[in-house]
Amino acid sequence: MIPVQTHTDLDDDRDLFGPRSVIGAIAVLVVLTFFGVGLQWIDDWVRDSSGFTVGEATAVSDTVSFVPAPGWINDPDQTFTGVGVVAQKNGWEIKVATGLVLQDGQSLEDFATIFYEIPPDEPGAQVSDLETFTTTSGLTGLTWTVHGTTNTSVTWMIANGTNVTQVLASGPSATLDSVRSELDAMAASVTDSSGGGQ
């Protein structure tokens, strides 16, 4: 004789995984937790992998910040809170460093000239003239380019009173044109709320 299941036996099996069961409630909680916490964790993890939030200022120190261009990735091994931030993209590296100070009576041009006159690493590299520029926040600075056959570097020195922020970008000469506007924009985005030092 074949055992016949009653309607009650089928209901017991179905209720174990039904929408009103304990296991069903736990499954719903797990899904909701994933969407509430898991997605936030994934978002934080992805943001931390680049280190930057696109369009938002990144702190270099308590008073200095800059806005990284999209696609630039923070290099945590070379970034030191309060001192400098390093970002990389397509073989290019940009360093934003603070903590430099003009001496009494020293102008930004005198200070920048010290770095400007360091001979290039690459023989035959062409060094541009010192040029003035202004950041989007109204700070003044000087910039120059050292263009070699293989590598190019671009330096910006930005002053706020006696405080100086240095931005140094370097990478393959062949790809300078593809990143130059981003480099200029990042340097121009530097802000310094220190009040100008001494």
Rounded Cα–Cα distance for residues 162 and 175 (Å)? 34
Exposure of 63 by Cβ count < 10 A (0-12 exposed, 13-18 middle, 19+ buried)? middle
**64-99 confidence digits (pLDDT tens):** 999 999 889 888 888 787 889 999 999 999 999 998
What would the mean pLDDT of 143-163 be, rounded to a whole number?
Answer: 94
Domains of the chain (ranges; CATH) run: 7-49 (no CATH), 54-192 (3.40.1000.10)
Whole-Å CA distances, 9 to 22, 70, 174? 18, 61, 76
**24-45 confidence digits (pLDDT tens):** 677 777 777 777 766 666 555 5
Rounded Cα–Cα distance for residues 196 and 198 (Å)? 7
Structural contact between residues 194 and 165, judged by C-beta atoms closer than 8 angstroms? no
Which tokens sit at 46? 């992805």
Burial code (b: 16+ CB inside 10 Å, e: under 16) for 160-189 equals: bebbbbbbbbbbeeeebeebeebbbebbbb
Sheet holding 191-192, edge to edge: 58-59, 64-66, 191-192
